[in-house]
Structure 1
Amino acid sequence: MQIIESLEQALFMAFSMFWEILWPLILGFTLSGIVQAVVSHQSIAKALGGDTPKHLAIATLFGIASSSCSYAAVALARSIFQKGASFTAAMVFQLASTNLVIELGIILIVLMGWQFMAAEYLGGLLMVIFLAVIFRLTLTPRLVQEARSQAEKGVMGRMEGHAAMDMSVSGGSFWNKLFSGKGLTSVSSYFVMDWASVWVDIALGLLIAGALAAWVPDSFWQAFFLSNNPTLAKIEGPLMGPLVAMVSFVCSVGNVPLAAVLWRGGISFGGVVSFIFADLIILPILDIYRKYYGWKMMSYILVTFYITMAAAGYVVEFLFAALGIIPQNRNVVAITDGIHWNYTSVLNIIFLALAALLVIRFFRTGGLAMLKMMNRSEQQMDHHGNEQHEMHHQNMS
């Protein structure tokens, strides 16, 4: 009986967090779909051929515009690297497309507060700078060439078909492209396929967060994160955040609910930031780096990303503390207050209606065939997917 009650409590907490972040997720993916519908992927590789500040700024902007799950972002980064982008620009691109995206900021505001959203975006920009400096000082041409040789073998990862699809609309002004039949279909396609690529991570993150919130007492987290010693907690947090994320197996926006649980448990502000950044070094993605670039480059990515994540966490912690804007309240409403009839429920109903319209549009324009291609390799897409992809584009009008 006690086990059943414990399971019910964990599931209730997971659903409460899901209910709290549902409308931000729909809004975020809709806005992301709009951006992707009017920004083509075709010119990305050509624009990212170097590692100058200009190239990296463009890589960051393209990454934000190409919002996707971590697996698709990693696959797309390899694709543009193969097509001529510098390795530094490719890594900056994938960092931005997972950590500087619209939906992540909205969810952080709703679930944890505006300070975490500001810290995420500032920390993401700092990571770009730190990564560029470290790569400039330590990345050798020989290691890049070895990585390129391995990348050209085309070893399969995950979500490569999704990453290879470019459904953007060309010609005309922003508004003409967006409100055309093709534009609306393109938005619906990106919306549904982005959801399809991340729903497992979101569900896993919510279930793990619900279980941890229900079953692990706050005293454990407080001891683990040294909460009784604020100085040591600030030192430990940014170092431990990425390590906890690595073994959680959750990436993309799915680790925000976990971050909320850790924040309630006592991790430092900088530790939360570094934890959220670490979706690009979870164990399954490290294995994909090994397949894409080889063992040496995988190890190099792990070390350099970990250093930049921890460094960004420390800088954000110091800066926000100096400004006096680190939240003092560790109560996470979605975990403790449950579901109520309020503005969140009203917004969820409105945005669920919007999601239904986009899903209907997607399936009425041949979207099912595209879903089946999401996990194909880019080579398979080239050989077998062109006909179905073209049929979808014909249906877009």
Structure 2
Amino acid sequence: MGSLWHALALAGAMGWEILWALILGFVLSAVVQAVVRRQAITALLGDDSPGALAAASGLGVASSSCSYAAVALARSLFRKGASFTAAMAFEIASTNLVLELGILLALLLGWQFTLAEFVGGPIMIVLIAVLYRILLRRRLVADALRQSEKGLAGSMEGHAAMDMSVAGGGSFLRRLTSAKGRTAISHIFVMEWAAIWRDIAIGLLITGALAAWVPMEFWKNFFLTGDPLLAVLWGPLVGPLVAVVSFVCSIGNVPLAAVLWNGGISFGGVVAFIFADLIILPILNIYRKYYGLRMAAFIAGTFYLTMVIAGYLVELIFWALGLTPRERAARVVEAQVAWNYTTWLNICFLVLAAVLVIRFFRTGGMSMLRMMGGRPAVDASEHPGASST
């Protein structure tokens, strides 16, 4: 019981340490999503040209950080006419180039990891585009499209189908401060949390267990820290595999990445590990249901390959520029909560979150949460909550 309590206490302390950063990230994400209409740019994603991939990446950056929602929305874009390559570029950007991920990486691991993620993400998108141009066959895409048309209802389908962006003209500030703008931000904020809180909780629990129960010597041996060259080569290869079996997706894997970094995994291995939220076992099963077994295997293989290569390239680039962190001092916090700047930041952002949650429920939010729970998905622009004031 003492060991269990120690793991839970570490998980709780880590959650408290990152709470304000999570709220800030989701607020910023909601603000961005409130002024971007997804439907307006779907027509730009019809091929795998640089312009289409850039548009897909931009849409991903402005979208959800939830891996499950990103996968579901990518399927929706594919069904509406986006090329399969553009849909996959959207997925990568949506889960690896979002604001909340960058904030959390800087907070727990350091600014170098945030920069690495925003360098490695575009590298992975380019690698995917090249691989798909060479390897992806039209027949496989056609089979995947037929499979995707069969439909698969679920909570992430409802989440992905929602477009809460504010329509109409006016300045950026006017749209955000309008009643509709505040309502849209509150709905997106709450639905993002509803979609991803389990992943964050699981990530924290796994992190607490590993930090409390697994000796540091095990990680040092596993990541071959005794041989620096082998460690650099081994890290990007094994990083994604650790992510696959840990079941942790999206930003929920950042606390675990901190444990792995302190344990000796290479810099490139951490980058590859964080990328691998798109090939964890539950999401691989979703690919199978969405696109069929052959396309699921194709996605898994090409994603893994590009994650490994991106990890190597980031390692090489940062080593050449002298930016690779020299100290392994990621913040895996002790099992305590103190009155410091983190506590005051948490209180301030919890007040902001409470304001958004109250507005969410006052503007018809419960019906949208029920829809996310598995009821038929509809366009939120037709939902009463989207226009409520």
TM-score, normalised relative to structure 1:
0.95
List aligned pairs for 1:92-171, cutoff 5 A.
92-156=89-153, 158-171=155-168
On the 8 A contact 2:176/2:182 being kept in 1, the answer is yes
Partner of 1:49: 46
Cα separation, 1, equivalents of 2:173 and 2:215: 51
On the 8 A contact 2:156/2:195 being kept in 1, the answer is yes
Partner of 2:377: 381
Cα separation, 2, equivalents of 1:26 and 1:394: 24
Question: Given the superposition, is the C-alpha separation of residues 114 and 338 from structure 1 closer, same or farther in structure 2, using an over 3 Å criterion?
Answer: farther
Cα separation, 2, equivalents of 1:171 and 1:53: 29
Partner of 2:190: 192
Deviates more, 1:233-242 or 1:325-334: 325-334
Deviates more, 1:273-282 or 1:41-50: 41-50
Cα separation, 2, equivalents of 1:394 and 1:134: 43
- C-alpha displacement of 1:334: 3.6
Amino acid at match of 1:112: L
Amino acid at match of 2:126: I
- Aligned positions, number: 388
Is there any run of 5+ residues in structure 2 with no aligned partner, and where? none
Question: Which of 358, 380, 384 in structure 2 is aligned with 1:391?
Answer: 384
List aligned pairs for 1:322-361, cutoff 5 A.
322-336=320-334, 338-361=336-359
Partner of 2:269: 271
1:236 aligns with 2:234: yes
Tell me, what secondary structure is at the counterpart of 1:189? helix
Cα separation, 1, equivalents of 2:330 and 2:48: 41
Amino acid at match of 1:374: M
Amino acid at match of 1:320: F
On the 8 A contact 1:33/1:187 being kept in 2, the answer is yes
Cα separation, 1, equivalents of 2:373 and 2:382: 14
4+ residue segments displaced more than 4 Å: none
1:58 aligns with 2:51: no
Amino acid at match of 1:368: M
- C-alpha displacement of 1:337: 7.5
Cα separation, 2, equivalents of 1:156 and 1:122: 35
On the 8 A contact 2:154/2:374 being kept in 1, the answer is no
Cα separation, 2, equivalents of 1:135 and 1:188: 38
- C-alpha displacement of 1:301: 0.2
Q: Deviations over 1:40-77 (max 9, x none)?
A: 11123211111100100010001101123111110000
Tell me, what secondary structure is at the counterpart of 1:169? coil
Q: Deviations over 1:147-199 (max 9, x none)?
A: 10111111345510000011111112211111100000100001000001010
- C-alpha displacement of 1:335: 2.6
Cα separation, 1, equivalents of 2:387 and 2:100: 29
On the 8 A contact 1:213/1:335 being kept in 2, the answer is no
Amino acid at match of 2:249: C
Question: Given the superposition, is the C-alpha separation of residues 157 and 366 from structure 1 closer, same or farther in structure 2, using an over 3 Å criterion?
Answer: closer
On the 8 A contact 1:240/1:271 being kept in 2, the answer is yes
TM-score, normalised relative to structure 2:
0.97
CA RMSD of aligned residues (A): 1.4
List aligned pairs for 1:17-56, cutoff 5 A.
17-56=14-53
Q: Deviations over 1:260-319 (max 9, x none)?
A: 111111111100000000000000000000000001100000010001100010011111
Cα separation, 2, equivalents of 1:70 and 1:320: 27
- C-alpha displacement of 1:336: 4.0
On the 8 A contact 2:75/2:87 being kept in 1, the answer is yes
- C-alpha displacement of 1:11: 1.2
Cα separation, 1, equivalents of 2:155 and 2:166: 25
- C-alpha displacement of 1:343: 1.6
On the 8 A contact 1:277/1:309 being kept in 2, the answer is yes
Question: Given the superposition, is the C-alpha separation of residues 149 and 98 from structure 1 closer, same or farther in structure 2, using an over 3 Å criterion?
Answer: same
On the 8 A contact 2:33/2:165 being kept in 1, the answer is yes
Amino acid at match of 1:381: A
Question: Given the superposition, is the C-alpha separation of residues 238 and 74 from structure 1 closer, same or farther in structure 2, using an over 3 Å criterion?
Answer: same
Is there any run of 5+ residues in structure 1 with no aligned partner, and where? none
- C-alpha displacement of 1:344: 1.2
Cα separation, 2, equivalents of 1:16 and 1:160: 33
